[in-house]
Amino acid sequence: SKRIAVLTSGGDAPGMNAAIRAVTLSALSHQHQVFGFLSGYNGLINEHFTELNAASVTDIIHRGGTILKSARCPQMHHTDGLLQAANSLRKCHIDALVVIGGDGSFKGAQALAEHWSGQIIGIPGTIDNDINGSDETIGFHTAIDTALGCIDKIRDTAQAFERTFVVEVMGRDCGIIAMEAGLASGAEQIICKELIDDEPQFLQKLYEQVKANINNDAGHSYVLVMAEHSLSISAEQLAAQLTEHSGVESRSAILGYVQRGGAPVAGDRILATQLGCSAIEHLNAGADGVMVGVVNNQLKTLAFEHTSDTQQRNRDFVARLKRFRR
């Protein structure tokens, strides 16, 4: 039997609670003890934790956010912070740590491993779906549905007013949310880094397309779904440029934090449950320094050091979906 610590770190994502539940119930069924550390790595540094039992994780599979709270923790970038975190783990006699978060959180786990000899295992929890080693991340399915619901509503106004709308979605540096939400909403344009080789050229073509769309007397709306950070100009600036170059009033809408919240959809609950249980199985087998993920419908592990090798993965993902755009 082991003493297992679990924490959620980085941006919160719908389904993190389902993952905490799966980790806890699976660990308890193997006679382990489980301790939830609060507010990401801050909980380690401040020794802020609570023991989790079956009752603690009842009634949470359907809730957004995370009962363990999440946070960024700047101290983890400094040796002092890492030593403090490692000391807390030793003091609490923790044998293994489960980190639910994004690739930044896994970098934190790697840094921590230099000062602590216990096992560490990662579970990909982020809406961005930007982690190598898993085809999908916990929270992504819900974020797409949330973004889609918003884009559908914006389309109504775009249509009624015959306006052009630039809708900015999240994704950090990854265009997969934009690509999927754009595809599912029938967006006229999808803008993400993976699709742009030369920005000025891309924008010139875009202005021409928007103008041509207006002049073809179909009189319909034009919706552009844009990934955050994909251009050197903001969504608002792009809308202003479109107004100027196409002569049609354009507006922007930044969806923002709504995409991180809400009850997780089935896909995220199921993924979280599989990955949570898989993490405990791998810990039982002695795994250390790896993230669990689903690749081609199979449960796999990947060393933390490779989880941020995302450039090719993201480009392939976007390229595959791009083929299905009209």
Binding site for ligand ATP (CB under 6 A): 9-11, 41, 72-73, 76-77, 101-105, 107-108, 111, 126, 128, 172
- CA distances to 21, 279, 284, 300 from 274, rounded to whole Å, are 11, 9, 15, 11
Residue 35 β-bridge partners: 5, 51
Active site residue 59: no
Angle ∠(139,10,238) on CA atoms, nearest 5:
75
Residue matched to tokens 């630039």: 166
Q: Which is nearer to ligand ATP, 42 or 252 (CB)?
A: 42
Q: Which is nearer to ligand ATP, 188 or 293 (CB)?
A: 293
Smallest distance, ligand ATP to C-beta of residue 290, A: 16
Q: Environment class of residue 295 by beta-carbon count within 10 Å: exposed (0-12), middle (13-18) or buried (19+)?
A: middle
Smallest distance, ligand ATP to C-beta of residue 125, A: 7
Alpha carbons 99 and 268: distance in angstroms, whole number: 17
Please identify which of the residues 12, 103, 128, 145 carries the catalytic annotation: 128
Q: Which is nearer to ligand ATP, 7 or 154 (CB)?
A: 7
Q: Do residues 68 and 20 lie in contact, with contact meaning Cβ atoms separated by under 8 Å?
A: yes
Q: Which is nearer to ligand ATP, 33 or 110 (CB)?
A: 110
**Helices and strands of the chain, counted as H and E runs:** 10, 11
Q: What are the structure tokens assigned to 170, written together?
A: 């999240």
Which residues are marked as active site? 128
